Structure 1
Amino acid sequence: MMKKVIAAVVLISLLTVAIVQAMEKKTEQPDTASTASVNKEGLAIGAKAPDFELKTLTGETVKLSNLKGKKVMLNFWATWCPPCKAEMPEMEQFYKEKDKDLVILAVNIDPQLEVQKFVDENKITFPILLDAEDKVNEAYQILSIPTTYFIDSKGIIQYKFTGAMTLDIMKDNASRLK
Structure 2
Amino acid sequence: MKFNYLIPIVLGIFFSFFMTEQLLAEENKEGIEVGNKAPDFEIETLNGEKVSLSDYKGKPVMLNFWATWCPPCQVEMPDMQKFHEKHEVVVLAVNLLDTEMKRDHVQKFVDEFGMTFTIGLDGDGAVSSKYRINPIPTTYMIDSKGIIRHKSLGAMPYETMVEHLNKMD
TM range (shorter): 0.7 to 0.9
Match of 1:6 in 2: none
1:69 partner SS: coil
The residue identity in structure 2 corresponding to 1:91 is: M
Pair 1:62-2:51 in alignment = yes
Percent of aligned positions with the same letter in both sequences? Answer: 54
Q: How does 1:25-36 map to 2 (within 5 A)?
A: none
How many residues were matched structurally? 135
Pair 1:95-2:84 in alignment = yes
Match of 1:77 in 2: 66
Pair 1:168-2:159 in alignment = yes
- Superposed CA deviations along residues 28-52 of structure 1, whole A, max 9, x for unmatched, are xxxxxxxxxxxxxx92111110100
Over aligned residues, Cα RMSD in angstroms?
1.3
CA contact (8 A) 1:105 1:126 kept: yes
Match of 2:136 in 1: 145
Q: How does 1:121-132 map to 2 (within 5 A)?
A: 121-132=112-123
Q: How does 1:32-51 map to 2 (within 5 A)?
A: 43-51=32-40
1:118 partner SS: helix
- Superposed CA deviations along residues 84-126 of structure 1, whole A, max 9, x for unmatched, are 0000011111111012xx2110000026431001111111111
- For residue 154 of structure 1, report the CA deviation from its aligned partner: 1.0
Q: TM-score of the superposition, structure 2-length normalised?
A: 0.77
Q: TM-score of the superposition, structure 1-length normalised?
A: 0.73
- For residue 165 of structure 1, report the CA deviation from its aligned partner: 1.0
Give me the whole-angstrom Cα distance separating, in 2, the residues matched to 1:107 and 1:143. 13
CA contact (8 A) 1:53 1:63 kept: yes
- For residue 141 of structure 1, report the CA deviation from its aligned partner: 1.0
The residue identity in structure 2 corresponding to 1:110 is: L
* Segments ≥4 residues shifted beyond 2 Å: 110-113
CA contact (8 A) 1:51 1:64 kept: yes
Larger radius of gyration: 1
CA contact (8 A) 1:79 1:110 kept: no
Give me the whole-angstrom Cα distance separating, in 2, the residues matched to 1:156 and 1:72. 10
Structure 1 unpaired stretches of 5+ = 1-41
Match of 1:24 in 2: none
- For residue 68 of structure 1, report the CA deviation from its aligned partner: 1.0
Match of 1:159 in 2: 150
